[in-house]
Amino acid sequence: MARGSIRTGIGGWTFEPWRGTFYPEGLSKAKELAYAGQHLQTIEINSTYYGTQKPATFAKWASDVPNGFVFSVKGNRFVTNRRVLAEAGESLDRFIKSGISELGDRLGPLVWQFAPTKKFDAEDFGAFLDLLPDKEAGIPLRHAVEVRHPSFIDPAFVALARSRNIAIVYAEHFDYPEIADITSDFVYARLQKGVDDIPTAYSSDALDQWARRAKEWAEGDAPEDLPLAAPDDAAKKVARDVFVYFIHEGKVRAPQAAQALAERVRD
């Protein structure tokens, strides 16, 4: 059976509590990304959300990780934190041309995260999706949107994203809506219910459950136990690449969670 790739990872690579729990004692900070690249499959870059990075910085990050490793890149907040999204073109273009293409074949999805107060407006949100470019410097771009207001639990939102091949981030979260509709040729999940006192952030049973779901996504299926905004509008069954990140809650053990899930999805 055809199956897309499944990559598991974490958000960022600089976090003090990882020193001695994930990173070996005495490892220099300059070598942490290289170490993470050898032991994980993907990392979501968060610093790009807060500020502009230089092309040389992206190039350095790419050189620090091995072939097959992929970064997802969070879009800058000045693009998404605005009242009228249709007016984001200039900020969006500035971000796209900031040097992300220097990641080359290490460039994975671009993630556009919206504030919890941002409500769904079909016309304006559709206009924003139309601004997202298909490529930069000859490199194909894949986009995912993470929305955090319950008004997005709407079949119209699913239809908009699917018509443009934009992934809706499935965010497992205590407060934000969970939307697991498949709308793109890849699936992007952010798991945010881990706990620090479990060695793998999630229990063994929970990781088994997420391994099953990741495999179903990769094979083109939609897990039946996740909530959908448009349950009567199923996506076509095709193999899809899957990105799963352990983020925020249970962060101390997030690297171990990513490694444990990677073991479970490996054939």
Residue type, 62: A
Tell me the pLDDT tens digit for each residue of 212-222.
Answer: 999 999 999 99
Q: In a 10 Å sphere around its CB, with 0-12 CB exposed, 13-18 middle and 19+ buried, how is residue 89 labelled?
A: middle
What is the percent of the chain where pLDDT is above 90?
97
pLDDT tens per residue, range 92-151? 999 999 999 999 999 999 999 999 999 999 999 999 999 999 999 999 999 999 999 999
Mean pLDDT of the chain: 97
Cβ distance 103 to 61 under 8 Å? yes
263 three-class SS: helix
3-state secondary structure of 204: helix
Q: Where are the domains of the chain?
A: 6-265
Confidence (pLDDT) at 101: 98
What pLDDT sits at residue 1?
62
Report d(CA 170, CA 195) in Å as an integer. Answer: 19
Query: For residue 2, what pLDDT is reported?
Result: 84
- Structural class in CATH, domain 6-265: alpha beta
Distances (CA, A) of 103 to 76, 141, 172, 222: 17, 12, 28, 31
For residues 249 and 193, the answer to whether their CB atoms sit within 8 Å is yes
Q: Mind listing the pLDDT tens digit for each residue in 174-197?
A: 999 999 999 999 999 999 999 999
Rounded-to-integer distance, Cα 153 and Cα 119, Å: 10
Tokens of 207: 């990781």
Q: What would the two tokens of residue 212 be?
A: 């099953």
Contacts of 264 (CB under 8 A, 6+ apart): 207, 208, 210, 211
Pick from 112, 183, 178, 177: nearest CA to 149: 177
Task: Return the pLDDT at 250.
Answer: 86
Measure the CA–CA gap between 57 and 223, rounded to whole angstroms.
38
Mean pLDDT of 222-250: 95
User: 243 has which bridge partners?
Assistant: 7, 188
